[in-house]
Chains A and B, each alone.
Chain A
Amino acid sequence: MAASSVAASELLYNMKKQILILHPKVSCIIRRISTRSPRRYNQPQPSAKSAPEQLVGVVGLEIHAQIHSNTKLFSGSSVCFSAPPNSLVSFFDASLPGTLPVLNRRCVEAAVMTGLSLNCTINRKSLFDRKHYFYADLPAGYQITQQRRPIAVDGMLTYSFLGGKKRNQVIRKNVHIKQIQLEQDSGKSLHDDLRSQTLIDLNRAGVGLMELVMEPDMSCGEEAAAAVRELQLILQALGTCQGNMSEGQLRVDANVSVHRPHEPLGTRTEVKNINSVRYLARAIDYEIRRQIDVLQRGGMVQNETRAYDSKSGETVPMRDKEGLQDYRFMPEPNLPPLIVYEDNASLPTGTDLCQAVVVQKIREGLPELPSVRRDRLVQTYGILTEHSFTLVNEDGLVEYFEAVLKATKRAPRNVIGWVTNELLSYLKQHDMSVSQSPVTPPALAELLELQEMGHISSSVAKQVFQEMWRSSGKTATQIIHEQDLGLVSNTAQLHSICQKVVDSHPDEVHAIRNGNKKVLNKLMGLVQKETKGRADPVLVRTILQEKTS
C-alpha cells in the first residue's frame, strides 16, 4: 500500500510540472490545490487513464459598492453606518404612497468617476428600471436599478499581485468590467428565531449602490482577491466608496465554475456572504476544489447560490429565497432618462451648471490612481515594486513616506524599510491607521538624520524608535540625551574597553594574527555588547585592528 501511494504522489508531481508548463496561467490554482488540503477536498485524484487537460476554475464577480455620499440615491436621508435603527428613513425610503424618487447628483458623479477610472464608456443617456420582488426589507416591492441601459459599460481593470516562488514577482492581469449600474440598496432584516419575528431596519434602504460586473476572466481566488483589492484602492482613492467589506460598503459575490480550457464554461454557482478579501480568495478556491471534486466523482455541479462559512472555510448551499424569480422589469416612470454631458460646450442652453453632470470636468478632477502611483514611486525613488505595493496598500502610507523623505537627506532606499517594516508593524500591532501614528514623519526623519550623522548606531535607532512610540511627543534627540544612548566616541574610553576584550580573548586574537580577519567581527560584537551598542563602529574597528595586528 505504502509503496503504491508514494508512486501515485510522484506521478502527480510529474503531472503538475507538465501542466505548469502547458498552462502557466493556471499556476496558482494548481499550487493552491496541491499545497492546501482542507478536510474534504484533498489533492485532485489523477484519472487512471491518459491525463486529459485539467479542470480549471473560472471566476466572475458581481460587486456592490455603496456610494460614499451624504444622502441616499433618491432621497434626502443621511447615510451613516451604525445609526440607531430606522433613524435615517425618509418618507420615500419607507415607500409612503405618493412619494417620488429624486436622483442624487453626487451618486451620478461617483458612478461616472468610477467608470472613468475603470476605463469604461460612459453612456450619455442611461435609464432606470424597476425590479420587482417581495421582501420585507424592500419596502416598495421593487428596487430601482439600471437594467436596460446602465451609466457605464465596457471597462477594464488592470490589477497586479506578487507571485512566483519568493512572492516577489509582479504578475499583471486584466479583467473586463461589463457594466456599472446605479441602484438602490435594500434595508436589513434581522430574524429573531426565538420569537419568530423579523425586525426591519430601513436605514440602509435607498442608499446608492454601484453594481459592478466583472467578467469571468479570473481563474482563482488569488486573482479575484487581487482584482477586488485593486478596485478597493481605486474606489478609496476616488472617494466614491469607502470600500470596507466588513461593514458591507463593498459586497462581493463570486460566480464560480470549472471547465477544461477551450471547452464551454461549466455550470456556475454563486457564492455569497463573503466579507473580506482574504475570505474571498478562500471561498473561491474552496468552491473550485469542490466543483472539481464533484465532477471527478462523476457528479454534476448544481446551479445554485452558496454561502461561505468563514469558520469552516466551506461553502454551503443557501436556502434559495429567490428561486426562479421573474423580476418583471419595467421602466421607472418617475425618473426621466439620466443625461450626462461630455463637456460644457455640449450643455444645452439654459442648463443649470450646478445641476449638470459634465464628464470632462470629472475626468480633469480624477486623483492619481493606485497603479500610476506605484509606478511613480518605483521610478521616482528607486524602491522595489513590492515596497510600492505595501506603500499604496496602506491608506496614508505613501504620504507618510514622502513626508519623511522631504525632511531628511537620506536616500529613499534607506527610508523605505523604516516605513514598511518598523512603522507598519507597530501600526498593525496596535491596530492603528497611519494617521494615528504617534511618530510623525518629521520625528522619524530626525531619528534617521541622527543615525546618518553617526550620533547613534542602527540598533540604538530602533531602540529610540520604540521609545518614541511609547512616549509620544518626545523627540529622538531628547530620548538619546535622557537615556544616554549617544555613540561613545571618546577614544580613550574605547581604547580601554577594546583592551579589555583583547586581553580576555587570546584565542581570537591569535586567530586574527594568523590571518583569519573575520574573527575581528566577533571582537567588535563583544565591544558593542560592553557599550550596549553605543560604540562608534568605525572607531572600534580601527582600535581593534591596531591592537590585534
Chain B
Amino acid sequence: MLSLTLREVSLALREGRISPTELCRKCLNRIKKTQHLNAYITVTEELALKQAQEAETRLLQGADMCVCISSILCRVIGVTVPSFLPLGAPKGPLDGIPFAVKDNFCTENIKTTCASKMLKDYAPPYNATVVQKLLDQGAVLMGKTNMDEFAMGSGSTDGAFGPVRNPWSYAASYTEKTGAVPESDWVVCGGSSGGSAAAVASLTSYLALGSDTGGSTRNPAALCGVVALKPTYGLLSRHGLIPLVNSMDVPGIMARSASDAAIVLGILQGLDMRDSTTVAAPSSPTELPEHFDVKNICVGIPKEYHAPGLSEETLMQWSRVTDMFERAGARVEQVSLPHTQHSIVCYRVLCHAEVASNMARFDGLEYGLRSKVDSSTEAMYASTRHEGFNDVVRGRILSGNYFMLKQNYQHYFVKAQKVRRLIADDFKHVFSSGVDVLLTPTTLSDATRYSDFTQEDNQTRSTQEDVFTQPVNMAGLPAVSVPTALSRRGLPIGLQLIGPALQDKKLLSVAQWIEQRVGFPSIRDSSESRNETGVTKREQTSAV
C-alpha cells in the first residue's frame, strides 16, 4: 500500500480498500522504522491522526452521498454533485493523503526551523500558501523534513539536526552490489531538500514539498529516485517560504510519478494576493494525457551539459533516453547554451547577495534565537548571529555583503545580473528556434558516500552539484527531474527536462512518457522487515 502512487492510493481510499487513519498510521509507523534516515525534523503525529480522522469522516459521508444524492437528485435537477454536498464531503484527490513539507515552509504553530539553531524553536503563526492549499484539500501533514541550513547546500548534510541518509543506502540493490555496510557506507540524499526526497523515496509520504533555488528539489529527487518538478518562477506562491534567493526560489513538488506531480501542480499553481511575483495559471487542466505522442516534439540536447565530471553511467542514461526519443519519432537536435559555463559563478554572486539581505532580519529581536550577551544592541546582534548561523550561512552573508558594497556593486552584482540575462536569453533562443524540451542530466553522477561527500566543503560541493540545475533558476524556467535507472552501485540516476516558461504540464507529460518506458524500480513497501528495503519493479514496460 505504501509504495503506491498518489493516484493509486487516492483510488484505494475512495474504494474503501484502506481508510485515511489506517494509511496515516502505516506512514507514521514507517517514519518510526526509518528514523535512522533523519528525514524529518518534526513529526506531527497527533495532528496527522486528527486530520486523517477528518478525512475519514468526509470520505465516509461522500460514499453515502454518492448513493443518495448523485444518482437521484442530480440527474433529476441536472446540477453537479459538489453544489449539493455538505461541507463534510470529500475534497478531492488529495483528501486523506499523507504529505511532508520541507522545514523552510511556514506551518502554523508547528516548528519551522530551516534546520538552523537560529529558528530551533520557532513556530510561525501562519501557513505558507502552498501548505494551506494542500491542507484545504484534506491532505494529511506527516511532518517537517530535514534540509541544509536555510537551504544552503546540496547534500542535506549541513543542517543543525544532522545529515539525511539516502534510503537507497539500505536497499538490497546497493548493499548487495557494492557489499557496502549501510551504517558506515551510507550515501547522501542530495539537497537541500534531502529530507523531502527521502520521505517520498522511503515511502513515508506520497508527496512532499521542497524548495528549489539552484536545484534543491531536483538534485535530491534524482539521487533518491523520485520525480521532482521545479515549476516556472511565479507559478506557485512563495508566501510563507523562508527565502534563500527571492528571485530564484520556487516551491518544488516531489512525488512518485509525473502524473502525481501534475495533480499537485494543479492544486498549488496560480495567483496569490500575498505574493506579487505570482502569475495566473495557464487555463488548461493539469491532468496528464495517458498517451503522450512525442512524434511532434523537438528534444534539444545542450552540448554544454557534457560537463567535466559527468559520470559515464549518467552519460549512458542520457544517451539511452535520447535514443528512445529518436526511435519514437521525436526530432532530436544538439543545441547550444553558450553562457552556461558562467552561470554558476553568477548564481553564487546573486545568491550570496540576496542571502546577506534576507538574513538581516535574524537579529534576535522579534523571533528566533537571542543570545544572552546583552552588553549592547550591537553585541547582541553579533553574538546572536554568530551562535545562530552555521559557517556556510555566515560565509555567504559575508561574501554577499561584500558584493553589495558601493564600490563592488557594479563589478559583481550588476555584472552578474547582466550575465543572468544572457543565460535566460540562451534558453529563449533555443526555445524560439523550435525546441520543445531540453534533455540533460540532473546531477553529475549517482549519490556519493557521506564520508566522501564531506571531504569537500559546502561551496565546492554546491558548485559541482548545481551545475546542471541552477541555470534554470537563473532563467525562471520549469524543469522536471525523472528517475531513469539504477547505477551499477544500485543507486538512482535521474535526467532533467527543461521547458519554456509556463509549459510545466507539457514537461510533465514528456516526463511521464520517459517514466512509462524506463522501468525505474521503486523501494518496496517492506513495513514488516525493518531496515531492510527491497526493490521491486513498479511497472513492467516494454520499451526497454
Contacts and interface: CB of A to CB of B under 8 A. Distances in A.
A350 to B, nearest CB: 10
A97 B116 CA distance: 13
B366 A99 contact: no
B273 A102 contact: yes
A121 interface: no
A200 interface: yes
B377 A328 contact: no
B404 A330 contact: yes
Given A94-B366, A139-B366, A328-B405, A333 B276 contact: no
Contacts of B356: 328
A326 B242 contact: no
Grouping DSSP codes into helix (H, G, I), strand (E, B) and loop, the B interface class, with mixed when no group exceeds half, is loop
B357 A98 contact: no
A100 B125 CA distance: 15
A226 B3 CA distance: 77
A200 B380 CA distance: 15
A130 interface: yes
B58 interface: no
A330 B241 CA distance: 21
Interface in A128-160: 130, 132, 134, 136, 139-142
B239 A98 contact: yes
B357 A326 contact: no
Interface string B406-419: 10010001000000
A426 interface: no
Contacts of A142: 357, 360
A153 B357 CA distance: 28
A334 B401 CA distance: 19
A103 interface: yes
Contacts of B353: 330
Given A94-B366, A102-B276, A335-B276, A132 B106 contact: no
A328 B366 contact: no
B239 A134 contact: no
B361 A139 contact: yes
Given A136-B377, A329-B409, A330-B404, A98 B241 contact: yes
A94 B413 CA distance: 28
Nearest to A327: B406
B363 A134 contact: yes
A444 to B, nearest CB: 52
Given A94-B366, A100-B275, A330 B124 contact: no
B276 A328 contact: no
A192 B320 CA distance: 71
A364 to B, nearest CB: 28
Contacts of B367: 94, 96-97
Interface residues of A, number: 30
B410 to A, nearest CB: 12
A132 B357 contact: yes
A336 interface: yes
Given A91-B126, A198-B377, A100 B239 contact: yes
B240 interface: yes
B246 A99 contact: no
A326 B406 contact: yes
Contact of B277 (A95, A140, A328, A336): A336
A140 B360 contact: yes
A101 interface: yes
Contact of A200 (B124, B277, B361, B365): B365
B353 to A, nearest CB: 6
Given A100-B239, A134-B378, A140 B404 contact: no
Contacts of A140: 360-361
B360 A97 contact: no
Among B274, B356, B413: residue with most chain A CB under 10 A: B274
B431 interface: no
Contacts of B277: 100, 333-336
A94 B124 CA distance: 12
Contacts of B360: 132, 134, 140-142
B238 A100 contact: yes
Contacts of A136: 365, 377
A327 B367 CA distance: 24
Interface in B38-55: none
A100 B404 contact: no
Among A94, A97, A334, A335: residue with most chain B CB under 10 A: A97
Interface in A304-361: 326-330, 333-336
Nearest to B124: A96
Contacts of B191: none
Contacts of B243: 97-98
A536 B128 CA distance: 84
Nearest to A137: B365
B354 interface: yes
Given A329-B409, A333-B247, A139 B404 contact: no
Contact of A328 (B126, B275, B401): B401
Nearest to A99: B239
A196 B239 CA distance: 37
A76 to B, nearest CB: 10
A329 B114 CA distance: 26
Given A333-B247, A333-B354, A95 B276 contact: no
A335 B234 CA distance: 12
A132 B246 CA distance: 16
A96 B240 CA distance: 9
Among A96, A142, A328: residue with most chain B CB under 10 A: A328
B453 interface: no
Interface in B420-459: none
A166 B260 CA distance: 85
B305 interface: no
Contacts of A334: 246, 275-277
A102 B366 CA distance: 21
Nearest to B239: A100
A326 B403 CA distance: 12
Contacts of B240: 98-99
Nearest to A198: B377
Contact of A130 (B119, B239, B357, B378): B357
B128 A326 contact: no
Nearest to B125: A91
A98 B128 contact: yes
Given A95-B366, A134-B378, A100 B276 contact: yes
A118 B356 CA distance: 38
B513 interface: no
A16 B336 CA distance: 78
A98 B126 CA distance: 10
Contacts of A130: 357
Interface string B117-137: 001000011101000000000
A267 to B, nearest CB: 21
A114 B276 CA distance: 25
Interface string A84-96: 0000000100111
A132 B241 CA distance: 22
B147 to A, nearest CB: 14
Interface in B208-246: 238-243, 245-246
A243 B363 CA distance: 34
Contacts of B404: 132, 328-330
A325 to B, nearest CB: 10
B242 A97 contact: yes
A102 B125 contact: no
Interface in A159-187: none
A95 B359 CA distance: 11
A103 B276 contact: yes
Interface in B88-123: 105-106, 114, 119
5 contacts: A96-B126, A97-B367, A100-B277, A142-B360, A328-B356
7 A-B pairs with least C-beta separation:
A141-B360, A328-B404, A333-B246, A333-B247, A97-B242, A98-B240, A95-B361
Given A141-B361, A335-B277, 13 more contacts: A91-B126, A95-B361, A96-B106, A98-B106, A98-B242, A98-B243, A100-B275, A136-B365, A139-B365, A327-B406, A328-B404, A328-B406, A330-B357
